[in-house]
Structure 1
């Protein structure tokens, strides 16, 4: 499969070749499996770029209605997903979350009986919501001498917890609240969900993909034997669902803005279907940072952000006049969606990322 066909197929499955009018926000979240949610606003912007007539209240209502939950999931990072998916997705994430906890806090908690610790943390959360610092302070009373940060993060890694609204809704930040998932959702998590379910859902939204792609996105390991045993279609090293459509490579790709941490940008080990290696290094410069990007003809063309009520666009290379006009119009619509009706679209000169001024020292963080 050539790169252009792969690009168009992925964009089609990501609802980025044309905004969907047939999917509700809830159905779109289920299709996309989970939305990256370290910051509250990116999931809203990601859905706006993919759905017709999407409003802020649509997602906020799903969070307050407990149909969608926010929690530590893929790769141990915060995501939004449907509650009915959380109950099987969270147990599959226990192994990578335990590895991450051990790597960060294993030494600080080496004498801790983790099973007993998790039981005590659950007892402290039964029937109430606590922030991580509040929970850690209570755990310190039972486990004096341990690092407070290690106790709070260990509880988060070992227990199925959700972060309840209004925290995590549009522009609402602050200390992360913890609530037992089974109490918030009203049902326990599954005991042994099949990993094939996760692979199937990933391919439907991000495929075709390699084994490494699935592992990069999920944080799981040793999936090759599992995928080879599944009834999947093969395109060389790429796996796909047997009946999944392949897009016409000639399909036009409209201008689109992707928010901070958008899953599409980090959902594959090989990101050449979406950007060059040089662009990848600029968009994902290390650590957990993933800049918001814009697409020109389906390919990442640069980064953007809201700055003092305006939309600032920084291209990596010169953008053709027609493409720039399309992006400016799309950017104006995004400003209005985000509540910056009086804002304007500002273009910065192309920046090739080869000097010490990259990334811009004044470039803001997610907000």
Structure 2
């Protein structure tokens, strides 16, 4: 079986994630290809798409949210994702059990004795008037019926029980707004897809194929880390004859689609600026293909990351209109120049061309 080293996996990942060359895809097509973008920080998907799409206009994303073609909702790993309306409706039911279990894992004692079916029915009744509500407002509306659990526990569980959309203006370009929730079916005008009546798992199989198209080659553990779902090994087994296998340098089996891109490991990789919580890092159990183990913690703290030669080599932030880059290793003169050039482009994007300022700190020893 062919062994793929870390550099080969890195270039395959960059190609699938549209980070080797900016793509000419539409925003909905890019969001669908990427299986959604993690979006608990509402402005971060704009940078994620800017780094991946040629000629990306942030107003396009805002318009797609207000036109309900894209939607913000809790899904993979119980985190907020920006998804196409079609994927949110098709995938939500498959995530129900995982979402409930993760809330119970955090609030089991507080929710002891709460009938979850009753809670879901009561929540739907509150929302039947079509009025969007914050999580705390939902919890307050249910407090008379369930006075013991903390409002946070009630609200979080209700979001797991009832598929919800986070409504604009949250998530719009340069807009700061609180979370207002409405059932997905109300906001999108169609019920979420039900489970397959024959007990099969077509959504699981679709998720495997879609994940590999955007993240492969990958191990089953990577797939689980990305979505948090149980039961996918069965879906993988049904697809075995449609997939190809590899090994990584540690001997793990990696699966992939036969016709998916796997570029030459020596393919040049341009500097790219990633938003906080980008799935190109979080979408794997073994993240060594893109980030060194000593920096792995940055991916879950909300740090914005800089890729140099395809790997995380720095962090970035914005202060007073200046993109500030902090290297995590030494940069060569050429790397510093490339980082500064891409940083100036990012500064211009974030400021409508009013700023091209970038500051690259001294490299770490």
Asked if these proteins are the same fold (TM beyond 0.5), I'd say yes
From 347, 360, 365, the equivalent of 2:360 is 347
1:233 and 2:236 aligned: no
From 147, 152, 164, the equivalent of 1:149 is 152
From 285, 306, 329, the equivalent of 1:269 is 285
CA RMSD of aligned residues (A): 1.4
- Cα distance change, pair 142–247 in 1 and its aligned pair in 2 (3 A): same
Q: Which residue of 2 aligns with 1:322?
A: 334
Question: In 2, distance between residues paired with 1:168 and 1:4?
Answer: 35
Q: Which residue of 1 aligns with 2:199?
A: none
TM-score (norm 2): 0.92
Over residues 154-210 of structure 1, what are the superposed CA-to-partner deviations in whole Å (9 max), with x where a residue is unaligned? 111111000010112223334311101001111111111521111111100010100
Over residues 13-46 of structure 1, what are the superposed CA-to-partner deviations in whole Å (9 max), with x where a residue is unaligned? 111111012x101110010011010111110000
Q: Which residue of 2 aligns with 1:64?
A: 66
Q: Which residue of 2 aligns with 1:361?
A: none
Q: Which residue of 2 aligns with 1:172?
A: 175
Report the CA distance between 1:222 and its aligned residue: 4.0
Question: In 2, distance between residues paired with 1:75 and 1:337?
Answer: 30
Question: In 2, distance between residues paired with 1:146 and 1:213?
Answer: 35
SS state of the match for residue 346, structure 1? strand
Q: Which residue of 1 aligns with 2:213?
A: 204
Report the CA distance between 1:336 and its aligned residue: 1.0
Instruction: Structure 1 unaligned segments of length 5 or more: list them.
Output: 353-367
SS state of the match for residue 93, structure 1? helix
Q: Which residue of 1 aligns with 2:263?
A: 247
SS state of the match for residue 351, structure 2? coil
Q: Contact (CA 8 Å) 1:40, 1:171: kept in 2 or not?
A: no
Question: In 2, distance between residues paired with 1:157 and 1:351?
Answer: 43
Q: Contact (CA 8 Å) 1:132, 1:175: kept in 2 or not?
A: no
What are the residue-to-residue correspondences of 1:13-162 with 2, within 5 Å?
Answer: 13-21=16-24, 23-126=25-128, 127-162=130-165
SS state of the match for residue 313, structure 1? strand
Q: Contact (CA 8 Å) 1:75, 1:217: kept in 2 or not?
A: yes
SS state of the match for residue 137, structure 1? helix
SS state of the match for residue 242, structure 1? coil
Question: In 1, distance between residues paired with 2:72 and 2:181?
Answer: 10
Instruction: Structure 2 unaligned segments of length 5 or more: list them.
Output: 196-201, 248-252
Q: Which moved more, 1:218-227 or 1:97-106?
A: 218-227
Question: In 2, distance between residues paired with 1:244 and 1:146?
Answer: 48
Report the CA distance between 1:265 and its aligned residue: 1.1
- Cα distance change, pair 272–145 in 1 and its aligned pair in 2 (3 A): closer
From 276, 282, 285, the equivalent of 1:260 is 276
